[in-house]
Structure 1
Amino acid sequence: MLRSICAGLLFAMVFGITGCSSETPEEARDRQVKESVQELEALFGQLAEELEGELGGLDNKPEFDDSTAIGSAIRKADDLHTQGLREANFSQNPNYDNFSEAGDILLGLADTHGTAELESYPVKFSMIFYNAACAYSLNSDISKSLQAYKLSVEFGYDDFAHAAQDDDLINLRGSDAYKEYEMELASLAVDEAKNWAANELNSGESFDFDLNLTAVDNQPVRLADHKGKVVIVDFWGTWCPPCRAEIPSFIRLQESYGKAGFQMIGVNYEGDNTEADADKVRNYIESEGINYPCAMGDDVTQEQVPNFNAYPTTVFIDKTGNVRLKLVGLHSYERLAAIVETLMAE
């Protein structure tokens, strides 16, 4: 079920997916300690305001003409959903009947009038349909649950990670029909990633870049050793949250494409890059199962990247050794893989 408080607020404030500042790791840690206190104070203050606003907002009805038959039906569905949310916020065992009844109304309207008619109303249809899908799933009405879930996606629902773990949708997720739809969504995500990758590569700027470092396992890390391969060089630090969040995608890339002409390389920046810092990286490599070489970076390597201003910064190099793209911040596996596949196909 989707409650009225959005977990995205926490993610956006704490995670910082656009990247960490390019200041030195020591400066970053000092700054982060100070900012963490301020952020937590602001976070809890904002959460309190958000909670007050959300709960109070349940009484603030969206403005639209409900004098018509369709407007009246949408108003009733919205009111039922609002009552369901109110109960959910104050009960460990909320009654889902309001969600299913709201879903029944909107499913009927969608069948009769089409979704385009609903789009003109300022109502959170994605949330109403999602919670209706949960209610139907709990009642083992898989057909209606899938129909409502599809409509929630059509109206903008995209938190698929939440849906994949929502206990309310266990029955739905176990159905063959849902698994087929999940494959359709995955295919659409891949297509979107390919289009995005093509646009990024077309607009990407090249620059001279070379790499000659020593990995934390004392093996040489040289770009020249990987000519003929597509290479990603990731500038990162264990202290950087979005850097850490992107590591599983890089591990997966190496697993998926390593034998087909791809090489992942990590260039790490930790404090003063002392032996103690290298030990920290070694421990992180072991704990996370990193399957590609990671070297302690230096100024010479980083200064080759124009306008370097944040971690992680990811450099994509084609088979001829030319830099084709620089990305800053956290990106999805699908998009990273689309870039790799495009470069490998050249």
Structure 2
Amino acid sequence: MKFLKAKRFKVQKAFEMLRKTLKWRRDYNVDSILEEDFGPDIDNIMYLNCHDRQGHPLYFNVYAALSNIELFKTENKDEKFFRLKVQFMEKGLKELSFKSGGVHSMVHITDLKNSPSSGKKICLVDKKALKMIRENYPDVIHKNMVINVPFWCYVCHTMSSTFKTRRQRTKFVYATPSNATKTLLKFIGPEHLPVEYGGLNRKDDEFFPEDKASELIVKKNSVGIIQIPVHETRVTMIWDLTVVGWDVSYREEFIPDDEGSYRVLLHEGRERNREESIRNSFYINEPGKIVITIDNATFEKKRVFYRFKIKPTVPMYIYLSK
């Protein structure tokens, strides 16, 4: 069906496209490509991680890591790059369902931040790889998102987009460094977006994507407050929080219900160029509440995403007494 759609349901052209793909898969030895070992550091370049808001798997390409991997400093590095792309396409196919109502395409995210000095060459090689993918995996890429785009690349995209069809324009999304997180959050929930891109996903066992985040809008020149009441004792409260764009004054404290008890300052500072989310925790030995204050002194509203959970905790002194 995807081959038919790619050729606007012109059967002969769709069949010819399929025939060429089958020949390419045979000549390129695609059926055994999942068995190829490109080394342990490859996961720093390309990896599959969670899903977007519509359930499409997220396929990340982080080109800053290219300069640190010996595989791409040898001969035929372009060919190895192509084969690695195909390997991840094959991995991505296993995440899809081509049955009626299933998710049958993925989101391709390319991060150009801190790309090697040969960044323009990487873009050209990547363009060839995308052409290969488009010809042999039609409509499998739901959307191509390119983030942390250098100014020259963004200008080229803006100029060339006038010659593209509406469908081609909606397939590609470009974002400069200042708009990367904001753009990604339009399509990806904060629970699924990795922390290095301003989301809450740390790929650990404390929180899972199913642990939904709440959102707080802090208007310009105003203060936003999050209160997390804790009525249980001998538990640990743990929370994740991120501010899109940060550049706010940030404060965390524990305020006991008993007015005779002391407040506990957990964190305070001016968060300007922060990229990753904040994770903190506090052991609760008396009822009270965690109060988080976000002071937005800028002239634009700030979106705050946060989530929290209570973990039963056995204090260390009980272990020591045993």
Q: Name the TM-score class by shorter chain.
A: under 0.3
Decide which structure has greater strand share: 2
More helix by share: 1
**More relative contact order, 1 or 2 (CA 8 Å, 6+ apart):** 1
